[in-house]
Chains A and B, each alone.
Chain A
């Protein structure tokens, strides 16, 4: 069974997906402030890695990276509601690129699996959110 990453068109599709996803995030007042001082070029590579991971492409994302990468945002108030926004925009982005609802549900589950790491919580994921 091929991954969603491959079915969407691999790395080239991820480049488009980053554009769509990142623009949705920046335009959303619920989360835009977290990107206020972001270097867009670095952000681009990070989002590509994230989208590659959640669509089942080759990746080396680790919980440690996720914690370190978001610690400063958690200090600024990043919480579950913002992760929900991310998952919302992620789904809308993939839908625009032609992903099927069942694919999107699977991606959301994968994104949810790193929620505790992103929010720097000790407990293992309570899953199913």
Chain B
């Protein structure tokens, strides 16, 4: 007999019951439809315990790695604590540790959580000010190794949080972090797979983190990072990218601008066109796409049509709406 917890429900899963059956019997509010492991409506995430792999068939590998499973076909061996897939864990108190302007409109902020905070690069966190103002940002670093969470914040003209970070969030300022969420993460296990990491603007933040995560796992296949911006001034992070490429023979970097001339290391052209020109065939590639929603949608479809499998395309579209549940930078 195993026990399952979800929200306020805590129930024993019967011999022939699925996790969904048990939760519904106990009155929990879980969405579901097909009850046969197909429609994925009842997808939950195991926060504690290991979900049965039979209940993860058909899910993309990133979601499997993050503990997602289909409740309707889950007959667990382990006790499980479950959450809704997008649910954020409780807030963790944290402190602004360093802040540096790294481009005309990008501030790099490093935040020390007061207690250990587990997040994979490529996921995002909700950063909250003490008065309750909240925005989502993608994590750019290996937080466990570095001991801090690094975010790249694009400073928007009317951005309440981004302007505050740029102007007022001096080191020592208390904030809190909630999360993590998002599934645009590196999945160990296929070290020879070629990786394409492409994005615009502060989409570079998660891409840098994913690249570092892959290299930490001794990824040996090619890692091609492609960063696009309107002008050269928008292409921040040149040093970090150059450093990665110098240190690892399998890392290649392409930077491109919409406006202005190209140069030795900057291609003139739209990111989607530059990718198409260099990667006409993406079958067998794993593709990570981060940045502006329209661009991400275009790149996602292009990558699929170029042969990348749907399961191998991971996208994180940044919205800038104040209440958006996805990253703004």
Binding site for B on A (CB under 8 A): 10-12, 14-15, 18-19, 22-23, 26-27, 40-41, 44-45, 48-49, 52, 57-60
Contacts and interface: CB of A to CB of B under 8 A. Distances in A.
A11 B301 contact: no
A59 B305 contact: no
A58 B35 CA distance: 9
B35 A60 contact: yes
Interface stretch (B36-44, B150-158, B162-170, B225-233): B36-44
Given A19-B310, A45-B40, A11 B57 contact: yes
B58 interface: yes
A52 B38 contact: yes
Task: Among B34, B300, B313, B315, find the residue whose CB has the most chain A CB atoms closer than 10 A.
Answer: B34
Contacts of A52: 38
Contacts of B35: 60
Contact of B39 (A10, A41, A45): A45
A14 B34 CA distance: 16
Interface of B: 33-40, 57-58, 300-301, 304-305, 309-311, 313, 315
B39 A49 contact: yes
A49 B38 contact: yes
A59 B304 contact: no
Nearest to B43: A45
Contacts of B34: 49, 58-60
B301 A40 contact: yes
A22 B310 contact: yes
B36 A59 contact: yes
B45 to A, nearest CB: 16
B40 to A, nearest CB: 5
B27 to A, nearest CB: 22
A69 B36 CA distance: 20
B57 A12 contact: yes
Contacts of B39: 45, 49, 60
B300 A40 contact: yes
B304 A26 contact: yes
Contacts of A44: 310
- Which 9 A/B pairs are nearest by Cβ-Cβ distance? A58-B36, A60-B34, A11-B57, A45-B40, A11-B58, A52-B38, A44-B310, A49-B38, A49-B39
Given A49-B39, A60-B36, 12 more contacts: A14-B58, A15-B58, A18-B310, A23-B304, A26-B301, A26-B305, A41-B315, A45-B39, A52-B38, A58-B36, A58-B38, A59-B38
Contact of B58 (A23, A41, A48): A48
A5 B300 CA distance: 28
A52 to B, nearest CB: 5
A91 B33 CA distance: 27
Nearest to A61: B34
10 contacts: A19-B310, A26-B304, A26-B305, A27-B305, A40-B315, A49-B39, A58-B37, A59-B38, A60-B38, A60-B39
A19 B40 CA distance: 17
A57 B38 contact: yes
A27 to B, nearest CB: 6
A62 to B, nearest CB: 9
A123 B33 CA distance: 26
Contacts of A18: 310
Contacts of A49: 34, 38-39
Contacts of B38: 11, 48-49, 52, 57-60
Contacts of B313: 40
A94 to B, nearest CB: 17
Contact of B309 (A10, A11, A19, A27): A19
B42 to A, nearest CB: 11
